[in-house]
Amino acid sequence: MNVIINGEPRQLTPGATVAHAVKAVTSATHGVAAALNDEVVSRTAWDATRVTEGDRIEVLTAVQGG
């Protein structure tokens, strides 16, 4: 299944969830947030939220700034 994670094309296995998408780009579990097609998916819903073909997932964390 082809998806876009943080702007990069990625392959996820069919049935993958937001949790799998996050794991594809970071091992961090704290201080990270995910959005699926511009809607925030709260951490508690990562495991239950399925990703589908062509979805865009953003995975953000806090960095130095401001």
Partner 1 sequence: MDDPLIIAGDRFSSRLIMGTGGAKSMDVLGRALDASGTELTTVAMRRVDPAARGSVLELLRTRGIRPLPNTAGCHTAGEAVLTAKMARDALGTDWVKLEVIADERTLLPDPVELLDAAERLIADGFTVLPYTNDDPVLARRLEQAGCAAVMPLGAPIGSGLGVRNPHNIELIVEGAGVPVVLDAGIGTASDAAVAMELGCDAVLLATAVTQAQRPDLMAEAMRDAVIAGRLARLAGRVPRRRYARASSPPVSG
Residue 55 as a binder of partner 1 (CB under 8 A): the answer is: no
Q: Among 14, 12, 4, which residue's Cα sits nearest to residue 59?
A: 4
Q: Among 10, 14, 15, which residue's Cα sits nearest to residue 59?
A: 10
Q: Which stretch binds partner 1 (CB under 8 A): 13-21, 47-55, 58-66?
A: 58-66
Per-residue binding letters, 3-42, with partner 1 (x by CB under 8 A): ---xx-----------------xx-x-xxxxxx--x-x-x
Which residue type sits at 39?
E
Q: Among 13, 2, 24, 9, which residue's Cα sits nearest to residue 32?
A: 24
Residues that bind partner 1 (CB under 8 A): 6-7, 25-26, 28, 30-35, 38, 40, 42-43, 58-66
